[in-house]
Chains A and B, each alone.
Chain A
């Protein structure tokens, strides 16, 4: 036996449970969820709508306090939101009153003007919005707004990104383009990414590991390692096999 190198987890979710009080009773949304995410890993959280994926992500991001359990990032308990970890919403999260530059520079208010301008230029270019610096979001397409939101998040140089069904509102072609863009950006900027989706294909295309959630109250049913090197061939037998495993796990027959 060789020496086992223990890489400390970047994000460590420990026995999280979440109950929301309702009018008469409480509804249980998360039930003892535990998960370790390694530094630089891209983990997809896959589950049916309404199972509690957003709730989980909001707890990990520090926007909601869990009923029991805790989240550690770099070994420190999460007590609230932090610019070192940024939440990316569907493209509706960009600020419509700011230009592309204004949005990308939104989180850079602590920097001097020169450094801010430099960062803005860098990230505008990285997400492919050069030439649109002074455009307002309503002048952009859905895919461009989504890129803008990603650029706004990356500009503050966070080490963790939370993406909550970020491409859900885009058409299927734009969605495919955005996925490969995300993978390209991830090669350029190493980030730990928690990506919530209810799209099985999306999870197999993107993830290092797919965490399959049950219906509410959400528990982790299974964690599937996606051992296909990038760029991934969507018609390779391994891709189809992994996809089938996930379809099976979600409880869907993969025939129509």
Chain B
């Protein structure tokens, strides 16, 4: 017997997805469209791509670019955010710049990215870095700022100097909020890579979509690319959410599990 939570976690969403695919197939058939592909044609398109060997290469290329830009944002953004949160003076100095740079879509940097890096691997990675960096910085900064004074007081009471206090109190206390920022940033990174690949490079899932449209109006491949992007985005999100289950941060996500 499936338990209630099994039903809610798997059967219901799968059922909804099946219905959606069914409606899609029916709509294609009833409207007699010959531009928009049916689910079966999309499946055939996916097989064709897999057969040519480009599918996995494109997926790997997109993931590699995301990993590069995202990890760079992670390793620079978390320390920067911790520093800003810890040193209000520093934050005051940089805050106007950050707040101004933040609403500029990473895509607006595209011309500059191509100017600086050319049509290369570095251009999309740079855009992804920009998209992921600010949410990570801001989440880390806010995480530090909202560390309860009681924890800091306890840390100081036990004789911890600033470096130890940061490592053993401030960072773990801010970690749940940092993880939320990391999750948001990964979502943004995955959005940005697709857009960046439509312009700055000639491989990856974004390129697949734009190339399928331009070279022969292969809408079956366009939709296949979109579905792949959605599925991989979902998997990435599930992956980072696993971090929230770690015992050392679970306390910060209690309202959800309770």
Q: Is the pairing of A and B real?
A: yes
What is the CB-to-nearest-CB distance from A94 to chain B, in angstroms, rounded to a whole number? 9
Q: Once the chains are docked, how many angstroms separate the CA of A38 from the CA of B250?
A: 44
Interface flags for B156-176 (1: CB within 8 Å of A; 0: not) read 111110001000110011010
* Best-buried of B150, B158, B173, B250 by chain A (most CB within 10 Å): B158
Interface flags for A140-178 (1: CB within 8 Å of B; 0: not) read 000000000000000010000000000000000000000
Q: Is A233 an interface residue (CB 8 A)?
A: no
Q: Once the chains are docked, how many angstroms separate the CA of A26 from the CA of B175?
A: 38
A86 & B158 in contact (Cβ 8 Å cutoff): yes
Q: Once the chains are docked, how many angstroms separate the CA of A138 from the CA of B250?
A: 9
B251 & A82 in contact (Cβ 8 Å cutoff): no
A109 partner residues in chain B, CB cutoff 8 A: 160, 164, 168
A107 & B159 in contact (Cβ 8 Å cutoff): yes
A93 & B250 in contact (Cβ 8 Å cutoff): no
Q: Is A50 an interface residue (CB 8 A)?
A: no
Interface size class of B (residues with CB under 8 A): 20 to 34
Q: Once the chains are docked, how many angstroms separate the CA of A138 from the CA of B252?
A: 10
Quick one: given A136-B247, A138-B254, are A97 and B173 in contact (CB under 8 Å)? yes
Of all chain B residues, the one with the shortest Cβ separation from A156 is: B158
Q: Once the chains are docked, how many angstroms separate the CA of A109 from the CA of B251?
A: 24
A156 partner residues in chain B, CB cutoff 8 A: 158
Interface residue SS majority, chain A: loop
Interface flags for B97-132 (1: CB within 8 Å of A; 0: not) read 000000000000000000000000000000000000
Q: Once the chains are docked, how many angstroms separate the CA of A97 from the CA of B254?
A: 12
Interface flags for B208-250 (1: CB within 8 Å of A; 0: not) read 0000000000000000000000000000000000000001111
**Chain A residues at the B interface, C-beta cutoff of 8 Å:** 61, 63, 81-83, 86-87, 89, 92-93, 95-98, 106-107, 109, 136-138, 156
**Chain B residues at the A interface, C-beta cutoff of 8 Å:** 148, 150-151, 153-154, 156-160, 164, 168-169, 172-173, 175, 247-252, 254
